[in-house]
């Protein structure tokens, strides 16, 4: 699905030098690279504050802790996303209020938000799934009207740019109260282990997020609140400092691959290509097709036999996952999310995809339908 080895080969000298320098300094925790990376990422994204942490799941949890949500508070979250988004809601004793998603763009259905709002609702968590921004203008407007917080899960969309109707532009993760992201190796900006970050434009919230990520202390051994231990390693920060310089190029390469897939499949009756939002650029964390009248399992087996990996993100919507059945949802509650789980398939897409490799993938896929 991704080719991290070839990507490393391209930047090997820079990365090796950065790693060696951390080892020479032995400042493995909170070394200067961590702060440098936070500042560089703030500059890149336009976020006022970037707080690095251990992974994207922690980023979501710290965000919800910093906003002082109380057990029993309700959080609106798409039924079609990676489990982490919902897991932290449940862990903090909050109640996930699932919402269905758009069939074409996979974002939460903004026209259903208001019907889910109760006196207990505290937040909306849009997920910028597969690499393009949700309808942030509508989400922010509804949140403002009902005094709700917005936490953007930007784990799949770092660098995507959203354009508001007045022409103002902002990057994914910088529009809500808080944005969260992940540097898991296969993410668009991936490190060589685990990593994550939290974005905010609010000075006070930034201090609180930083404090919670560091055992609830602003001053060493003075604990003002219950926190967690969630740090980005210096080694990972050093690697990310190198890779951030290439992120725009990486996004462009992913778009080139996506454009070729689009061109090859756009008029196909069995393969529905991903629809691009008019108000967001796409960074194609995944290139995800919807299969129409195709036995997906058989198609996957065929691809595997031809040496082509494919993945299903995600096979089961969250309201039907065993761990979340206790919230009382049933089959049929979110028909689009449920159908997408049967239909979607993601194809290989990465920054070092060679033209011949992609041509083979396209030809092999088209041959299946001959
Ligand atoms: C990857 C991912 C996360 C979690 O990130 P980790 O760093 O693996 O904890 C959260 N939300 C979404 C949508 C993701 O894709």
Reported as a single tens digit per residue, the pLDDT across 219-257 is 999 999 999 999 999 999 999 999 999 999 999 999 999
| Distance from residue 196's CA to the centre of ligand 1 (Å) | 9
Contacts of 206 (CB under 8 A, 6+ apart): 48, 49, 51, 200
* Residue of 2, 59, 155 best suited for mutating to test ligand 1, as the one with most atoms within 8 Å of CB: 155
Q: How far apart are CA 167 and CA 352, in angstroms?
A: 33
**End-to-end CA gap in the chain:** 25
Residue 189 · residue 155 · CB < 8 Å: no
Give CATH 3.90.1150.10 domain extents, the chain.
247-368
Reported as a single tens digit per residue, the pLDDT across 65-76 is 999 999 999 999
What is the 8-class DSSP label of residue 228?
-
Q: How far apart are CA 343 and CA 295, in angstroms?
A: 9
CATH architecture of the domain with range 4-244: 3-Layer(aba) Sandwich (3.40)
Binding site membership of 81 for ligand 1 (Cβ less than 6 Å): yes
Question: pTM of the prediction?
Answer: 0.97
Binding site membership of 153 for ligand 1 (Cβ less than 6 Å): yes
Q: Which ligand 1 atom sits nearest the alpha carbon of residue 187?
A: 1
Instruction: Name the residue with the closest Cα to ligand 1, atom 6.
Output: 56
Question: 3-class DSSP state for residue 360?
Answer: helix
| Distance from residue 85's CA to the centre of ligand 1 (Å) | 8
Q: How many helices (H) and strands (E) does the chain have?
A: 12, 14
CATH for the 247-368 domain, from 3.20.20.100, 3.30.750.24, 3.30.565.10, 3.90.1150.10: 3.90.1150.10
Q: What values do phi and psi take at 7, rounded to 5?
A: -65, -40
Q: What values do phi and psi take at 155, rounded to 5?
A: -60, -25
Which of 68, 64, 9 lies closest to 351, judged by CA?
9
Is the pLDDT at 2 greater than 90? The verdict is: no
Binding site membership of 155 for ligand 1 (Cβ less than 6 Å): yes
Angle between helices 296-305 and 355-368 (to 10 degrees): 140
| Mean pLDDT over the full length of the chain | 97
Q: How far apart are CA 352 and CA 354, in angstroms?
A: 6
Q: How far apart are CA 24 and CA 12, in angstroms?
A: 18
Instruction: Name the residue with the closest Cα to ligand 1, atom 4.
Output: 56
């Amino acid at each position: 699905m991704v080719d991290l080895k070839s990507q490393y080969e391209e930047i090997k000298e820079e990365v090796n030098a950065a790693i060696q320098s951390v080892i020479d300094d032995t400042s493995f925790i909170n070394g200067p690279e961590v702060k440098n990376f936070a500042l560089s990422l703030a500059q890149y994204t336009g976020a006022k504050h970037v707080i690095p942490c251990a992974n994207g799941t922690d980023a979501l949890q710290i965000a919800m802790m910093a906003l002082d949500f109380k057990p029993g508070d309700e959080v609106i979250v798409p039924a079609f996303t990676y489990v982490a988004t919902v897991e932290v809601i449940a862990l903090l004793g909050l109640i996930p209020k699932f919402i269905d998603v758009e069939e074409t763009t996979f974002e939460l259905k903004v026209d259903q938000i208001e019907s889910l709002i109760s006196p207990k609702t505290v937040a909306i968590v849009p997920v910028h799934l597969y690499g393009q921004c949700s309808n942030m203008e509508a989400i922010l407007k509804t949140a403002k009207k009902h005094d709700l917080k917005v936490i953007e899960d930007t784990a799949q969309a770092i660098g995507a740019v959203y354009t508001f109707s007045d022409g103002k532009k902002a990057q994914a993760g910088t529009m809500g109260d808080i944005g969260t992201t992940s540097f898991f190796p296969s993410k668009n900006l991936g490190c060589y282990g685990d990593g994550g970050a939290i974005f905010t434009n609010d000075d006070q919230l930034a201090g609180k997020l930083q404090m919670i990520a560091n055992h609830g202390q602003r001053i060493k051994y003075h604990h003002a609140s219950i926190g967690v231990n969630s740090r980005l390693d210096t080694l990972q920060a050093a690697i990310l400092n190198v890779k951030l310089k290439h992120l725009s190029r990486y996004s462009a390469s992913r778009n080139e691959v996506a454009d070729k897939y689009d061109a090859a499949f756009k008029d196909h009756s069995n393969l529905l290509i991903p629809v691009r939002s008019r108000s967001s650029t796409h960074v194609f964390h995944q290139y995800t097709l919807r299969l129409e009248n195709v036995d997906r399992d058989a198609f996957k087996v065929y691809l595997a036999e031809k040496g082509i990996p494919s993945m299903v993100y995600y096979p089961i919507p969250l309201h039907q996952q065993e761990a979340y059945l206790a919230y009382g949802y049933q089959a049929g509650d979110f028909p689009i999310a449920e159908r997408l789980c049967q239909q979607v398939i993601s194809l290989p897409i990465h920054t070092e995809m060679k033209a011949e490799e992609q041509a083979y993938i396209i030809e092999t896929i088209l041959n299946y339908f001959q």
